[in-house]
Amino acid sequence: MRPSAILEAAVYVDDLSEAERFYGGVLGLELLAKVEGRHIFFRCGEAVLLLFDPKATEVPPEPDARLPVPPHGSRGPGHLCFSASADEIELWKTRLAAQNIAIEADLEWPRGGRSIYFRDPSGNSLEFAEPRIWGFS
């Protein structure tokens, strides 16, 4: 057996309000859940993007917590890559530029396919890439 897909991925952010504006407003992701001061969850296709404040998620749950999720957290910039077609990457490049979001790299990969890199407000490295950079169609 092996996992068939990633159901959720987490990125840790410094400012949840700014992250909500960026991921919901700029990237257009659908808000699924929100707990002030702790997390924001967005739908991204068939997966969920979890945005956590590590100061809150590193704290162990109370012994009688309804959902005793183990502590977790990370410091420093993480990385996420969103799937996009070549045409969509060009549209994203234009949309990001209109929001004054710098493109750090625009690459053509040796196996074929293109990707662009940029940052979220917390400094996480984000990417839009054609699936064929990994040999997917």
pLDDT tens for 9-32 read: 999 999 999 999 999 999 999 999
Token duo for residue 52: 């956590």
Domains of the chain: 1-59 (3.10.180.10), 76-137 (3.10.180.10)
pTM: 0.93
Token duo for residue 94: 């234009």
The Cα 45–Cα 85 span in angstroms is: 14
pLDDT, position 115: 98
What is the number of other CB atoms lying within 10 angstroms of the CB of residue 89? 20
